[in-house]
Structure 1
């Protein structure tokens, strides 16, 4: 099958959507599919030309001119989409949402269309620009969902709670995201010791790790508040973003310097080493903007127990089976988060049991080949439907 993916960005750009798009494209190539990815890129670089990456994936990046309300500004994207359809002649057009550039697919197009619904567009009450902008965006969003031959949601919980998906639930298919463990580096014991020494984790202490973009919905400020009463552990929060300076100031105000560390963004090798070296992985997100938590799959693959916010209407609670692979807490409740973390810090046997359960759950449910197989079934149904209509 010939598959044209339209994504917001593609690695080395960081993010759960980006990682999944690459892993899915590579898995589809292994299945024998021809795969073309159209995505944005900042600046000139390799914009406008095709390259072959990741074992045969054909990639074309479209130059952006900054962002407007978190959306890439790429006036040439419509032309590049039309060009890719004309040259590549895909059997399926696979759009990864949210992404304003995907709306170019509303032009007359006879290619069967699958919309992959990674997340609703959710604006915080304090975001006075995004909220009115969504009033316009939602009309294009609704038109795209009506036009789609099928919609893929990443969990049943998210699909059922999504207002935009409610009118099209008859064509929603649930396919959980997956991870290609082949790209996760093996980490030896010597490296684990070095990582723990680097972050000042002493004898008898635990290392609690969190990873993500420093945005308000990620809840890292709640994790910092929770750390005030934590005993016998060091907290490391990896990433960058607009809220990082504010979180750093709060760390200093609470006298947590040396106990809560913010090393910034890390290269993949160092990030994988941190997953292997930590004792507990924490995802303290606050909103359904955290739709699934691909980073949880990375931690589970390394056998780490999880502490996560139990976000209503999110897939996070589906990934982390509360009481089995980790613990769930009320979003935004620093005391509850502190209690869950302390429980795991104090109980090595529980950490081991939950970490192993997470590794098994990952292997059973979240490998990329399983996700690619589910997506292939959706493709087959829309291609059959398109053929029947001709």
Structure 2
């Protein structure tokens, strides 16, 4: 069977998790990726990763908030008429609509959905729109050929919501081969009595809950430092909170957006990565894989509709994975360099056993080989 064609909202490869997943799949399939190019990156975006596959922009309606719907076009008609397996990335109402149309027009055509996350409630009218979209999506995807998701946590929730277990498969996110090689070459952490070096990487927005991390650190009894990598609309608010909590102390450093070389240097010097997001829209966190490959444990919260807690969960660090206990577990790490050394080894071992490139390729082949 022909290679899959993909459909997504953004322009791959981009910097987000959805774009990076689509990029890795396209690099294996070599087939066209169709996109609504929601952020108009196709004209002048410098690709973050090398692209070896064709990409096509589908004309779409003017955005209504985050809502984009496909417009009638030759490219859309070509996509719907094709007999190639179609692989769409959710969440996106526009992508969901095309998957449904493809299924209705050609019932025997293989149509797959990649369920990246459950959308989370937001204040106001957006909450109602998100709820309607998710209600529709959970009624469409059980009728597709298969639903692929990123963790056993999300797979379990999809089955609970009505998908047949035989039609749900798990394909965790992955790193590209070059990233993996560089990160695995970094040395594991040694048991030296230095202040705990905490790292945060992400967009500085409200749902990332950097405020919770800084508040937790303010309660520690042992020395620490925090490097914040990333930028976003809440940066000034977070910097103000730093001044409120710590005064003139330089324990918290805002690095801004860094290139890959500079980010690698931060990973090489950190003891623990913390991703304290409170929403299910943060469902995996590829940066957790970067940390674990580098031998850094990752802390994230457990959520019934997110795999974040599952990705970095380590047997050597049992804790509730709830916000109220973040300060306690961080203080435990700050007090014990020996524990940090043991967790460094366990984090890398978990990466090698569950998330390494060769493991991902085996899972990829087991899911898609019958379709190729």
Question: Are 1:62 and 1:74, in contact at CA under 8 Å, matched by a contact in 2?
Answer: no
Q: Which residue of 2 aligns with 1:57?
A: 53
Alpha carbons of structure 1 residues 348 and 135: separation in structure 2 relative to 1, 3 Å: closer
Question: Are 2:198 and 2:273, in contact at CA under 8 Å, matched by a contact in 1?
Answer: yes
Matched, 1:137 2:133: yes
Q: Which residue of 2 aligns with 1:80?
A: 75
Q: Which residue of 2 aligns with 1:222?
A: 212
Q: 1:286-332 deviations in whole A, cap 9, x for unaligned? A: 233222222111100111122222334432232223333x5544433
- Normalized per residue, the structure richer in strand is 1
Matched, 1:250 2:241: yes
TM-score, normalised via structure 1 length: 0.79
Q: Which residue of 1 aligns with 2:100?
A: 106
Alpha carbons of structure 1 residues 45 and 97: separation in structure 2 relative to 1, 3 Å: closer
- In the TM superposition, residue 38 of structure 1 has moved relative to its aligned partner by 1.8
Q: Which residue of 2 aligns with 1:213?
A: 203
- The gaps in structure 1 that reach 5 residues or longer are 193-202, 385-390
- In the TM superposition, residue 263 of structure 1 has moved relative to its aligned partner by 2.2
Q: Which residue of 1 aligns with 2:360?
A: 371
Selected match of 1:307 from 295, 299, 303? 299
Alpha carbons of structure 1 residues 184 and 178: separation in structure 2 relative to 1, 3 Å: closer
Alpha carbons of structure 1 residues 247 and 241: separation in structure 2 relative to 1, 3 Å: same
Matched, 1:96 2:89: yes
Matched, 1:263 2:261: no
Question: Are 2:5 and 2:87, in contact at CA under 8 Å, matched by a contact in 1?
Answer: yes
Q: Residues of 2 paired with 1:365 and 1:167: CA distance?
A: 24
Matches within 5 A, 1:162-201: 162=158, 165-183=161-179, 186=182
For 1:57, what is the secondary structure of its paired residue? coil
Q: Residues of 2 paired with 1:368 and 1:66: CA distance?
A: 39
Selected match of 2:310 from 306, 318, 325? 318
Alpha carbons of structure 1 residues 367 and 204: separation in structure 2 relative to 1, 3 Å: closer
Alpha carbons of structure 1 residues 305 and 142: separation in structure 2 relative to 1, 3 Å: closer
TM-score, normalised via structure 2 length: 0.82
Question: Are 1:44 and 1:63, in contact at CA under 8 Å, matched by a contact in 2?
Answer: no
Q: Which residue of 1 aligns with 2:190?
A: none
Q: Residues of 2 paired with 1:170 and 1:245: CA distance?
A: 48
Alpha carbons of structure 1 residues 163 and 360: separation in structure 2 relative to 1, 3 Å: closer
Q: Residues of 2 paired with 1:367 and 1:78: CA distance?
A: 40
Q: Which residue of 2 aligns with 1:198?
A: none
For 1:122, what is the secondary structure of its paired residue? coil
For 1:272, what is the secondary structure of its paired residue? helix
Question: Are 2:180 and 2:357, in contact at CA under 8 Å, matched by a contact in 1?
Answer: no
- In the TM superposition, residue 247 of structure 1 has moved relative to its aligned partner by 1.9
Question: Are 2:184 and 2:294, in contact at CA under 8 Å, matched by a contact in 1?
Answer: no
Matches within 5 A, 1:323-338: 323-324=315-316, 326=317, 328-333=319-324, 336-338=325-327
How many residues end up aligned between the 2 structures? 356
For 1:254, what is the secondary structure of its paired residue? helix
Point out the more displaced range, 147-156 or 286-295: 286-295
Question: Are 2:118 and 2:281, in contact at CA under 8 Å, matched by a contact in 1?
Answer: yes
Question: Are 1:154 and 1:315, in contact at CA under 8 Å, matched by a contact in 2?
Answer: yes
Question: Are 1:286 and 1:331, in contact at CA under 8 Å, matched by a contact in 2?
Answer: no
